[in-house]
A and B are shown apart, each in its own frame.
Chain A
Amino acid sequence: GAVVSQHPSWVICKSGTSVKIECRSLDFQATTMFWYRQFPKQSLMLMATSNEGSKATYEQGVEKDKFLINHASLTLSTLTVTSAHPEDSSFYICSARWGGATDTQYFGPGTRLTVL
């Protein structure tokens, strides 16, 4: 089946630093990747949609200058949380969708970000 990986799985950083999270589709080419944020015991909140080679589309209320997304290739998308603050602490999950007939998206294992 389709496998999506994320790195790192857990990161702790100081306030003011930037953190990069990678999302990779390991055995398929992902034309579209999604980035979600999930707070404890809450649903997945879509942050942005990225298509390979083009700018990401951000959901309303998500600061694009704070959450930088780069979809450089068909197998890699990165999310950079710039100048992180404690309120950015959350579980970030990416998902990937291949460009076939299916709309199915496959989720990465998530990255837990803790900002001190």
Chain B
Amino acid sequence: GENVEQHPSTLSVQEGDSAVIKCTYSDSASNYFPWYKQELGKRPQLIIDIRSNVGEKKDQRIAVTLNKTAKHFSLHITETQPEDSAVYFCAASDTGNQFYFGTGTSLTVIP
């Protein structure tokens, strides 16, 4: 089955700096890669996703890049704000019937 690894597990940045979270996956059949943000005690919220036919996708301060050959994808947050502090999860899916999540990254943005 799919194995998704995520790094780093914790990340602290100064407000205004950029944050990068990286994930690798093992199953070359995976073709859908969503990123979720989870605040303490709340449900995961989809923030951005990318499909395997696209190398990069951007939505305001958030961007995701995908390298299919190397089987890794990354989340980039620019101009970080304190409200960006949360746990971020990457995931990989092939058919949409099974999603495999990374171990999570706890991001702290220091004001």
Contacts and interface: CB of A to CB of B under 8 A. Distances in A.
Chain A complexes with chain B: yes
Contacts of A93: 43-44
B96 A103 contact: yes
Contacts of B97: 32, 49
Interface stretch (A62-70, A77-85, A107-115): A107-115
Interface in A4-41: 32, 34, 41
Interface of B: 32, 34, 36, 42-46, 49, 89, 93, 96-104, 106
Judged by DSSP, the binding face of B is strand
Interface of A: 32, 34, 41-46, 49, 93, 97, 103-110
A110 B40 CA distance: 12
A42 B104 contact: yes
26 contacts: A32-B97, A34-B99, A41-B104, A41-B106, A42-B103, A43-B101, A43-B104, A44-B44, A46-B98, A46-B99, A49-B97, A93-B43, A97-B96, A103-B32, A103-B93, A103-B96, A104-B34, A104-B46, A105-B46, A106-B46, A107-B36, A107-B43, A107-B45, A108-B43, A109-B42, A110-B43
B89 to A, nearest CB: 6
B99 A109 contact: no
A85 B89 CA distance: 29
